[in-house]
Amino acid sequence: MYKFEGVKTTFSSLLGLTFCLLGAVHLEQYWQSYATTISHLTLPVLLFSALFSAQFNRSRLALTCLLWALLFTSQSYSVPWSDWLDNKTSWLLLSGALILLFTSLTQDRALLSRHSFSRLIMLNTIGLCVFYWLAYQGELDTLLSEHTYTTLLSPYITYHVPLILIGCLLFWRSVTRKCLTLATLFSSFVLWLAIHMNWLILPLNIVVAIVALVYLFTVSIDCYFLAFRDDLTALPTRRALNQLSLSLGRKYTVAMLDIDHFKKFNDTYGHDIGDQVLKLVASKLNKVKGGGKVFRYGGEEFTVVFSGRSPDIAFNALEQLREDIANYDMVIRQQQRQSKKSRQSSPPSDRKTVNVTVSIGVATRQTKQTFEQVIKSADEALYRAKKKGRNNVSN
């Protein structure tokens, strides 16, 4: 069963790019006098975007920047390959689309690594395949014309069908995975297609400059999440908690939450099951009521901050949260996943379930207390909750 986790990210990326393009059209009277300067700056900004992406191991966007640089230099400068590409626009269109698809199917790695050689071979293979595909276009049309039911399709086989398939695959990759890079690659494909189909009224240097800035923004957002989001649970990290503490008012409540017997889960079922437990608790914490903000403090510890809320509201929300976690039957996944048919045919009794409990310590800020002191008070309350037998809330 596919989860369309990336729908919001995909359409946000498309809307953001559309907004930038429409903004450039609307503000043309302001940048028109600087068009020459923008044209001179476009390539340096694009190369800077590629280097910036490579610095943070976002090799997919770095390669895509180089693709845009190839298009821009061939049309804006007198370079050795300009004349050839001017006569091979179809090759550039299909090759660029396939390169975008290829980058969406790979993983971000260091641009200069042992994988670079294989990627270079793959990029050259894409270019050669498209070249020979177009070279034998006449033979393909002749072959298709021999069959009546394929005659109508022959004008579309060379360009339209491959582009539609590539677009569908990019869209599918983007909407089924919550990944800003994949969403940006799909938006890049739409823009790449629009440029070659002459759907845009903006000059190429403005469009490419916008692309470079969008890529810089994408990498910056990725770096932010890398620094402030936990990779396993997708919760804000302790660093994000420290940042929040600087903007809290005088009235707030802090809860420290710890998973009971977490080490036992790891020792009994393995670290994979331990990771499942952390994800489960994180998903439940994300549903906490009372306006609480959740953070992963470290290990199996989490922090919930209720800013501007009374202690009673926070306590009731945490008590409800504790019950929801304790009452949830967690199915232990097998190391070797069964097929869907096997899972449906196996009796429910064969599926081992466990229950996870948490202990919670709550502390409300007192006069002249610092955030660190409130955290310490919540930690002491957590210790008391464990002393009382675990699976309870203590303040």
Instruction: Please calculate the CA angle 275-277-279 and round it to the nearest 5 degrees.
Output: 70
**β-strand pairing of 301-307 with 293-298:** antiparallel
Is 139 assigned a catalytic role?
no
236: which residues sit within 8 A by CB, 6+ positions away? 228, 229, 230, 293, 294, 295, 296
Marked catalytic residue, from 28, 300, 323, 380: 300
Instruction: Please calculate the CA angle 330-392-289 and round it to the nearest 5 degrees.
Output: 75
H-run or E-run covering 128: helix 116-135
Residue type, 91: W
Distance of CA 46 to the CA centre of its chain: 22
Q: Where are the alpha helices (DSSP H) in 136-233?
A: 137-145, 148-151, 154-157, 160-175, 180-196, 204-228
The residue written with tokens 């694009």 in the block is 46
The residue written with tokens 């990290």 in the block is 237
Asked if 257 and 358 touch (Cβ cutoff 8 Å), the reply is yes
Helix, strand and coil content of the chain, in percent to the nearest 5, comes to 65, 10, 25
Q: Which residues are catalytic?
A: 300
